[in-house]
Amino acid sequence: MEVRVMPSDPEAKTIPLFDCEFAKRALGTLIAEMSGVKKELPLAAVDIQAKVADRISDVTISQKFRNTFADHLETVYIFPLAHSAVVTSFEMRVGTRVVKGEVKERQEARQDYQTALAEGKRSALMEQERDDVFTMQVGNIAPGEEVSVVLNYSERLPFFEDGTCEIRLPLVVAPRYISGTPCDRESVGMGTENDTDQVPDASRITPPRLVEGAKDNVQLSVSVELLQSADGTFNIKDLSSSQHVVGTSLEDGSIKVELSKEDELMNRDFILKW
């Protein structure tokens, strides 16, 4: 299994993150305990930009983490990707510094990540848990600092019998049935389910989900750009978004589709069909 890891600049220690009640946690929200008090360190923003040409999508996802506290922190974030996505690049941006990821074996990457944290360096680690579930860890975020993690992936889009095509941009990890007996050890991840004898990594694939009516405080932006075919035409029968209200605009050689609302929640996938 491929993972990506990167070291960065020297900094200070990290402090541990702790779980809290499932019903009160939003997707991307992280909990840190300071002086016996649990506080939220939310994922600040997610920006997804996709370009589609001849049923091939090229997607860029930017995730911004912000440390609003007085201590250096480590974040742990479970997020979805398209089932058939092929990750092509992964990088961390801190200020003007850009550090690109490397592909390594899982154990080697984890060791390098932990070594970087022990040395007081900023570091990020991305691991693929399932075909459609990834875990992101970003360590040693300094007080008041913003860290952006950017990844790119490509995907061949499905083509249906009626001649339509669809792009699905996952915004939430689907609930999973966790079978087995809970393990008599501490869970290996930060998810909402305990590890079991049948699913020993259950805590790494079960992120908290929003309850109805809750807000996740994540600034979300999504845009899909449909490019002209080689003959200069758009092979579009009927453009529809089944889950979100969107706006469209015709640009030079492309049709751009964007979210119309600024306060959309990350509680359902973005699906565009044409």
Per-residue pLDDT reduced to its tens digit, 152-174: 999 999 988 888 899 999 887 65
- pTM for the full model? 0.71
Task: Look at strands 43-53 and 37-41 and give their pairing.
Answer: unpaired
- CA distances to 122, 208, 269 from 175, in Å: 32, 10, 13
Selected residue with higher pLDDT from 183 and 47: 47
Exposure string for 250-272, b = 16+ CB within 10 A, e = fewer? eeeebbebebeeeebbbbebbeb
In this structure, the dihedral spanned by the alpha carbons of residues 101, 147, 272 and 152, taken in order and rounded to 10 degrees, is: -10
Considering only residues 33 and 92, tell me which one the structure prediction assigns the higher pLDDT. Answer: 92
pLDDT value of residue 28? 46
How much is the average pLDDT of 10-23? 36
Interval 109-138 mean pLDDT: 83
The CA-CA-CA angle for residues 261, 262, 266, to 5°, reads 90
Cβ neighbors of 124 (< 8 A, separation 6 or more) are 5, 6, 8, 92, 101, 113, 136, 137, 138, 139, 147, 149
Q: What is the pLDDT of residue 258?
A: 96
Average pLDDT for 16-27: 35
Contact, 185 vs 101, CB < 8 A?
no
**Nearest to 188, CA basis, from 203, 169, 168:** 203
β-bridge mates for residue 75, sequence order: 138
Name the more confident of 67 and 271: 271
Could you report the per-residue pLDDT of 41-85, keeping only the tens digit for each? 557 889 999 999 988 999 999 988 888 888 787 777 777 888 888
Side by side, which strands form the sheet with 133-141? Answer: 73-80, 133-141, 121-130, 3-10, 102-104
Dist. CA 137–CA 113, nearest whole Å: 9
List Cβ neighbours of 165 (8 Å cut-off, separation of 6 or more).
55, 157, 158, 159, 273, 274
Neighbours of 187 (CB within 10 A): 20
Top-confidence range, 71-80, 118-127, 202-211: 118-127
Confidence of residue 35 (pLDDT cuts 50, 70, 90): low
Q: Which pLDDT band holds residue 188 (cuts at 50, 70, 90)? A: low
Average confidence (pLDDT) over 127-149: 81
Give residue 180's pLDDT. 77
Domain boundaries 3-173+209-273, corresponding CATH code = 2.60.40
pLDDT band at 12 (very low <50, low <70, confident <90, very high): very low
Average pLDDT over residues 110-115: 89
